[in-house]
Amino acid sequence: MHEEEYVRRAEAAKARLYRTSLLYLGGEAAAVDAVDEAVYRGLRACRKLRQEAYFDTWLTRILINVCNAELRRRKRELAMEQLPETAAEEFDALPLKDAIRRLPQQLREVVVLRYFTGLTLAETARTLGVPPGTVSTRQRRALALLRLELSEED
């Protein structure tokens, strides 16, 4: 992908990327920093992206890597925030935003990408590198923990 095209599409994607990083990282400043980093990494690597149709999933993957790296860095500094799937009562007691952030990583990725980033099931599967069936399963488990009844249209 040429740099000019990358710049155009990154401009269009940045709000969506921000939604993703905000749910991953929690704070506004950290979320903007993560988008900055992902857009920069994407800019450096855009010439390697041969199939422009995969731009959205490709850049989202970069962003998730950036967010996960930041979470790993925080994990070294702070106590782990994730709750196990068995902690249903704790999830119920948390505001939705916090509950999402404290989902196990695999479930959180799916729910963020599907319902806040706006990726389809197939795009989510491609972004995460897992089969669509796995996305479906994780999505069901995540929604159950969050007590959300969302359809494909929500």
Number of H helices, E strands in the chain: 8, 0
Positions in the binding site for another protein (CB under 8 A) = 7, 10-11, 14-15, 18-19, 22-23, 28-29, 32, 35-36, 39-40, 42-45, 47-48, 95-97, 115-116, 146-150, 154
**Which residue number, 54 or 116, has a Cβ lying nearer to another protein?**
116
* Whether the Cβ atoms of residue 5 and residue 52 lie closer than 8 Å to each other: yes
**How buried is 7 (Cβ within 10 angstroms: 0-12 exposed, 13-18 middle, 19+ buried)?**
middle
**Which residue number, 75 or 96, has a Cβ lying nearer to another protein?**
96
CB of 108 to another protein, least distance (A): 14
CB of 135 to another protein, least distance (A): 19
Considering Cα of 117, then 126, then 86, then 68, what sign does the dihedral take? negative
CB of 115 to another protein, least distance (A): 8
- How far apart, in whole angstroms, are the C-alpha atoms of residue 103 and residue 12? 29
**Which residue number, 19 or 130, has a Cβ lying nearer to another protein?**
19
Tell me which H or E stretch contains 74.
helix 55-77
**Which residue number, 15 or 53, has a Cβ lying nearer to another protein?**
15
CB of 13 to another protein, least distance (A): 10
Render 103-147 in DSSP notation, one character per residue.
S-HHHHHHHHIIIII---HHHHHHHHTS-HHHHHHHHHHHHHHHT
Tracing tokens 């948390």 back to the chain, one arrives at 94
CB of 78 to another protein, least distance (A): 23
**Which residue number, 75 or 140, has a Cβ lying nearer to another protein?**
140
